[in-house]
Copies of this chain bind each other. A is one copy, B any other.
Amino acid sequence: MKLGEGVEAAIHCAATLASVAGNSTMPGAALAESFGLSPSYLLKHLNQLTAARILESVPGPAGGYRLARAAERITLLDIVLAIEGREPAFRCGEIRRNGPVKLDASAYIKPCGVNAAMLWAESAYRAVLAETRLSDIVAEYAAEGDPRAFAASCAFVERHQRPQKSNPTKQTPARS
């Protein structure tokens, strides 16, 4: 059982975007640089987050990414599912039916007990992830992490974030 490296990248990027001010954005290239990742590949993951409505993207120069909603309303489960997909880790192949003794389908109405047990365990996993909000990660980082690292991170965000005109996706335009 393994998680792709994209999950780590996605969480860290989302956490970074959490400290972007207001409706400003941060380019994907800056995020990649911030973690020493391949820009072209990271964009794929950011794209998955955008498709899952965890991030919003703004095209054009001065464009980039920002959170689609408050960090309090984004959980680690949201991110993990966006990157890894929603299918359970254990996929029941119903191998109990594949033996030499062929019974008709009516003998297998009950779902496989092995499958049920594995899915039950995974639901516990997901429940814990669903309880952890992105804001918790950020808060823990600010409180427990090394001040130097936190300051460096904030400075990096400060340097690369770019203000937007308006319209954080369907918000009151508030135009003059």
Contact = CB atoms under 8 A, between A and B. Distances in A.
Given A1-B1, A101-B156, A118-B76, A93 B137 contact: no
A41 B145 CA distance: 47
Give the number of times this chain occurs in the complex, counting copies.
2
A72 to B, nearest CB: 15
A152 B103 contact: yes
A127 B124 contact: yes
Contacts of A100: 33-34, 36, 156
Residue with the highest number of chain B CB atoms closer than 10 Å, among A113, A117, A128: A113
Interface of A: 1-3, 5, 7-9, 11-12, 15, 33-37, 76, 80, 84, 89-93, 95-96, 98-101, 103, 106-110, 113-114, 117-118, 120-122, 124-129, 132, 136-137, 140-141, 144-146, 148-149, 152, 155-156
16 contacts: A1-B89, A2-B91, A3-B118, A5-B91, A5-B93, A8-B90, A8-B91, A8-B93, A33-B99, A36-B95, A36-B98, A76-B117, A109-B146, A120-B128, A120-B132, A124-B127
